[in-house]
Structures are given as structure tokens and as C-alpha cells.
Structure 1
Amino acid sequence: MAIRCLVVTPERTEVDREVDFITLPMFDGELGVGENRAAMIGRLGYGRVKLKTGGETTEYYVDGGFAQVEQNTVSILTGRAVPVDQLDKADAEKALNEALSMPGDNVDLLSLRETAVLRARGMLRAAK
């Protein structure tokens, strides 16, 4: 039996396929999901979703969101999902530099800057 993986963004369903194993970039580290894993809901970080089928691995950069695991189905809701091979390292480095130069004069601006830095660093790691 395989695991069904759904990756949904606000625009469309990016992925709907069966895989053998999934690695999720949770906000506090990676999580591997195999067959018959216990049900859970978790918050995603910024990074790579790895879909393994046989000897082949397909990777997507996800921009945070949530993942639900239930009855051999992994549902990923994210703001953006991009195949890793479509990421540009130079764009990710530029986004990181812009995020680091954002003002942090008050709590709200500091929070926005920290989120932008996490997003850019996740994209940069995925682009390598």
C-alpha cells in the first residue's frame, strides 16, 4: 500500500499522487511519514517536501503551512509549492539580503523581518 500525497496552494492542487515515503519540513525539524503512521496535524516550516517512490525522489519547496496525516493520506496546505529544480539560488540570496535589511524598530516589524528571513533561508537551502 502506498501513501497518497496532496499538496494544495490557494491557486490549485500542485501534487496529487501516491508515494512510498514523505519527508516534511516541520517548523521544528524534519518529519518522515511512512505507511500506517499515526494521525497528526502539524505546522510546516519553510523548506523541502521530499516525495520518495522506489529509487526516485521528487522535491518541492513549501512556504510554510500545515500538514495532516490520516489513514495513509498526507494533506499539505501551503501558500506556495515550487519544484526545487525551478528555484533560483541567486533569487533566494537576494531575498535573504532584502529580509536581513528590513527594519526591526518595533515588535511588529521585527516579526515581519524574522518571517522573511526564515522564508528566504528555507528557499536558499532548498535551491542548493
Structure 2
Amino acid sequence: MAEPFQFELVSPERLLLSDKVLEVVVPGTEGEFGVLKDHSPFMSTMRPGLLKVRKDGDKVTEYFVRGGFADVSSAGLTVLAELAIPVEEIKPDDIAAQIRNAEEDLADARDDEARRAAETVLAQLREVQAALKAA
């Protein structure tokens, strides 16, 4: 059975969560990864996606995160997100607006590197939109 560990989710606007949790699934840039108590230390950047937190039992709380990094240490897990919003607070119009902005960034891309970056962000936001519709 999973044991609790310290988890903090921080955005520039506020501390969203600082509590003992059983498991966190993080949308890392190299793929999703799960963290349990006594996970090996490492650091990862994050892509836009859903961060899933299980405090007790099977109840999972989801947060939309956009960018930032996750730091796993002996003290627990700290996620510093560029943007973090509880899923229940997200309005579909907000994600749609971010997608429109990403589409504009793609259209305005001046070189291949900027185009690839814009395509990546746009694809990730569309994944999040699809996940929110399925939830």
C-alpha cells in the first residue's frame, strides 16, 4: 500500500497545494511519470497537461499545468508550474482561447524552430482540451 509523502504545487500566483499525498502523476516533457514515497531523486521539465494527485483511496484531483518543472527529492515532490489551475475551475473558453493564441503563434512563426515549438504547444493544448472533454 502506498505511503504518504510531502507534495507542493506552486504557480506564480499562489500555492495551490501543500499536503501529504499518496501518488502524483506528472506530465513530463519526455512523458508522464508517477511519483510515490521514496522515489529516486530527479528533476524534469513539464509540458502542458493534467497533473493528477491522489491523496487517499481512489479519489484523484486533477490540475491543468502549463510548463514549469518537477523536483523529486528525499523531502518529497515540488512542482513549480508556469500556470496551474484546478480542473474544476477551468472554463472551456479559456482552453479554446489558448488554442487560438497557439494557432496565431504558429501562423506567425518566422523559422523552422519557432514553427516546431508552436506546433508542439498547439498539439499539447489540443490533447488537454480532448482530455477535459473526456473527463
Structures share fold, TM-score greater than 0.5: yes
Which one-letter code corresponds to 2:80 in the other structure? L
Most deviating of 86-95 and 67-76: 86-95
Aligned partners of 2:111 and 2:25: how far apart in 1?
36
Q: TM-score, normalised by structure 2?
A: 0.80
RMSD: 2.2
Q: Which residue of the partner structure matches residue 64 of structure 1?
A: 67
User: 1:15-47, CA deviations, whole angstroms, 9 ceiling, x for partnerless residues?
Assistant: 111111110000121101111111111111111
| Amino acid corresponding to residue 11 of structure 1 in structure 2 | E
5 Å matches for 1:94-105?
Answer: 94-101=97-104, 102-105=107-110
The equivalent position to 2:86 in structure 1, one of 67, 80, 83, is 83
Residues 1:103 and 1:66: Cα distance change in structure 2 (over 3 Å): same
Give per-residue Cα distances to partners, 1:85-114, cap 9 Å, x unaligned. Answer: 111224323432442243223246425633
Contact 1:2/1:72 (8 A) holds in 2: no
SS at match of 1:37: coil
In the alignment, residue 121 of structure 1 is paired with which amino acid? R
Tell me the matched-pair count: 128
One-letter code aligned to 1:2: P
Share of identical aligned residues, percent?
Answer: 26
